[in-house]
Amino acid sequence: MDTQVETPPAPLVDESTPAVQPLTQASTTPAVQSPAQGSATPAVEAPATQELASEPPPPKAVTPAEEEEASTESGKKEEPKLDINHIKEELQNSIIAGNIPQLVLHMITYATGIEVSDIHIEPMEKIVRIRFRIDGVLRLIIEYPSNIHPAIVSRVKIMSGLKIDEQRVPQDGRMQITTEDGKNLDLRVSTLPTVNGEKIVSRIQDKSKTIPDLPNLGIQGENMKKMERFLALPNGVILVTGPTGSGKTNTLYSTLSRLNTVGVNIMTFEDPVEYQMDGLSQSQMKPDIDYDFASGLRTALRQDPDIIMVGEIRDQETIEIAIRAALTGHLVLSTIHTNSAVGTLTRITDMGVKGFLIASAIRGIIAQRLVRRVCKYCKELYTPEPKLVEEIKKELEGVDPNHFDIKKLENIQLARGKGCDKCGDTGKKGRMGIFEIMEMDREVGSLILKNAPDTELMDAAKKGGMITLKQDGYIKAIQGDIPIEEVYRVVQ
Ligand SMILES: [Zn+2]
């Protein structure tokens, strides 16, 4: 079912619209409203723009948040405070007042101000909770009584163009919001009927976000040199791998933005198109009408391409066309769902691709994970336990000395955040990637032809200079970029 509806952009603050007090008689009544009443309150009927305009300027917690990358570069702008307690208090006030539109508006305003990627509104048996995903981890923001949930669901559905009277099947919708500072936000709203009522998850995408350059993602030293060699290739397949939410798409966009020059035709086949980049021909897949990655890729070959990006390789057909494209002189970038660089080779073999095709077409594999950074405002250094020091030394033994200065192992210090008002007392703020970048060389290629096991491929890749995910994580922990426990969280 395709119920996706685009609602007109709703500016968060629209100066031209007169302020309207949403606190009407109806909405000050105790927070007990049936779904029917909920959707019939005056505030719900008012267009979103008016209510949005009625809001006072957002409190400190939601001043425009700079991109982590941008802020580390300039370091000029004051970081917003992540004052979870203040947000909780404001939302609590709206709940007590029974002001559903205000509650929903505050929820969205706060979420967009502190770089929340997803808002979860989930009914449980007796209460409903709102959680925000911040830097990849969910945080409980507030709980409210179940009896106001139908009104909140109706409110969100109206704002995202969904049917309020349809509660039995999942629905997908969108909201577009422009913030005061000109950020264009796209909220993808998904509803799901659960045994306790409808659950709503909203993914927030900042369309005006600038694409960070590769080093800002965490690609450093020898890894960056490998990336530069990949970027200079006239043809071949480059794959980015990792679990969902490991930052694969960002890496592809950052790579494309380096390749994006007037001299080349870059075509992308995506589902969904997450950022729009000038100079690229970006195509949105529509699997329901059989326009999928494989058919997109076939079309690309008739469009005189130089560089082709395919959202994901999931099946034999797609990988085979990608390899054919590479062997006929094109550079193909894509993602694949595996755990490691070496595991990707095994996965492609399992898809039924012949070893000689893999060895000749695949030029590089980038495995990655996203980890949280140490909050720079409350960072402190400490000396780890001797046992951990030994473990780190053992893991980093034999790492390419061009990538990492072995002398740093003599006096290992790690970093952690004490917790402050900039990081919501978590000690962590922002995220970066840890990477394992494998370059196809003669040694690895000949092992693929022999159908060698993973362990042998891994040894050969390491001998060829590959830094493993764990090693890159340890190096970043020693440099004081990330807390060491983040490495254990994402790498087994
Ligand atoms: Zn902090």
Determine the distance separating the centroid of ligand 1 and the alpha carbon of 422, expressed in angstroms.
5
Checking if the pLDDT of 27 tops 50, the result is no
Quick one: what percent of the chain has pLDDT higher than 90? 69
Determine the distance separating the centroid of ligand 1 and the alpha carbon of 432, expressed in angstroms.
16
Structure tokens at 85: 């307690």
Angle (CA) 465 467 471, round 5° = 145
Checking if the pLDDT of 20 tops 90, the result is no
Determine the distance separating the centroid of ligand 1 and the alpha carbon of 82, expressed in angstroms.
9
CA dihedral sign of residues 136, 142, 147, 150: negative
Q: Per-residue pLDDT tens for 401-417? A: 889 988 889 999 999 99
Determine the distance separating the centroid of ligand 1 and the alpha carbon of 404, expressed in angstroms.
28
Q: Per-residue pLDDT tens for 366-379? A: 999 999 999 999 99
- Rounded distance, CA 33 to CA 44, Å? 13
Determine the distance separating the centroid of ligand 1 and the alpha carbon of 172, expressed in angstroms.
36
pLDDT of residue 71: 39
Q: Per-residue pLDDT tens for 287-301? A: 899 999 999 999 999
| 106-115, 188-197, 222-231, 311-320: least confidently modelled range | 106-115
- Rounded distance, CA 304 to CA 282, Å? 14
C-alpha 282: how far from its chain's center?
Answer: 19
Determine the distance separating the centroid of ligand 1 and the alpha carbon of 170, expressed in angstroms.
39
Determine the distance separating the centroid of ligand 1 and the alpha carbon of 374, expressed in angstroms.
8
Q: Per-residue pLDDT tens for 446-463? A: 999 999 999 999 999 999
Beta bridge partners of 134: 116, 137
pLDDT of residue 14: 38
Q: Per-residue pLDDT tens for 91-104? A: 999 999 999 998 99
Determine the distance separating the centroid of ligand 1 and the alpha carbon of 417, expressed in angstroms.
6
Categorize the per-residue pLDDT at 80 as very low, low, confident or very high, splitting at 50, 70 and 90. Answer: low
pLDDT of residue 256: 97
Structure tokens at 396: 């980093």
Any idea which residue has 């007042």 for tokens? 97
- Measure the CA dihedral 443/444/447/453, to 10°: 140
Categorize the per-residue pLDDT at 21 as very low, low, confident or very high, splitting at 50, 70 and 90. Answer: very low
- Rounded distance, CA 156 to CA 138, Å? 20
C-alpha 80: how far from its chain's center?
Answer: 20
- b/e per residue 117-136 (b: at least 16 CB within 10 A): bbbbbbbeeeebebbbbbbb
pLDDT of residue 36: 37
- Single-letter code of the amino acid located at 381: L
Q: Per-residue pLDDT tens for 313-352? A: 999 999 999 999 999 999 999 999 999 999 999 999 999 9
Q: Per-residue pLDDT tens for 232-283? A: 999 999 999 999 989 999 999 999 999 999 999 999 999 988 888 999 999 9
More confident residue, 17 or 147: 147
Determine the distance separating the centroid of ligand 1 and the alpha carbon of 294, expressed in angstroms.
46
Q: Where are the beta strands (DSSP E) in 385-491?
A: 414-417, 428-439
- Rounded distance, CA 90 to CA 206, Å? 24
pTM of the model: 0.77
